[in-house]
Structure 1
């Protein structure tokens, strides 16, 4: 049961939290694992400030998705 909970937690983070790294990797044309690895290294070196950048990028991605969805809804009226 404990492994099932851990697997669900890992799947949640892969689906939700790693979207920013995957998008950056897609734009740059490199593996998302490399981006994640550098993000972890930078977090340790700079004492967590990349986390603030990461959360800002995640917010912008969600905002962009929200605006697209509303534009589609507004266009139908």
Structure 2
């Protein structure tokens, strides 16, 4: 059973972060975003999953480009 739970916990820890960031951005609950992605995936036969991967990639690139600096001397 550990073989099943390890990947599940990995995806829950890292994959749900995308939904959390989107929910924080729009000011809604993360659960609503996750459920909407699930429905979108089932209705459009995989488009929701592709959109999710695109948003995860976009957030990762944005985090790499825009880093928060605490002062002027951090350049």
**Following the alignment from structure 1 to structure 2, what is the Cα–Cα distance between the partners of residues 5 and 29?**
36
**What TM-score do you get using the length of structure 1 for normalisation?**
0.74
**1:59 partnered with 2:61:** no
**What TM-score do you get using the length of structure 2 for normalisation?**
0.75
Specify every segment of 5 or more residues in structure 2 that has no aligned partner in the other structure, as ranges: none
Alignment length (residue pairs): 71
Root-mean-square deviation (Å): 2.1
Structure 1 stretches of 4+ moved >2 Å: 4-11
**Following the alignment from structure 2 to structure 1, what is the Cα–Cα distance between the partners of residues 17 and 9?**
12
Considering fraction of residues, name the structure with more helix: 1
Specify every segment of 5 or more residues in structure 1 that has no aligned partner in the other structure, as ranges: none
**Following the alignment from structure 1 to structure 2, what is the Cα–Cα distance between the partners of residues 5 and 30?**
34
**Following the alignment from structure 2 to structure 1, what is the Cα–Cα distance between the partners of residues 24 and 38?**
18
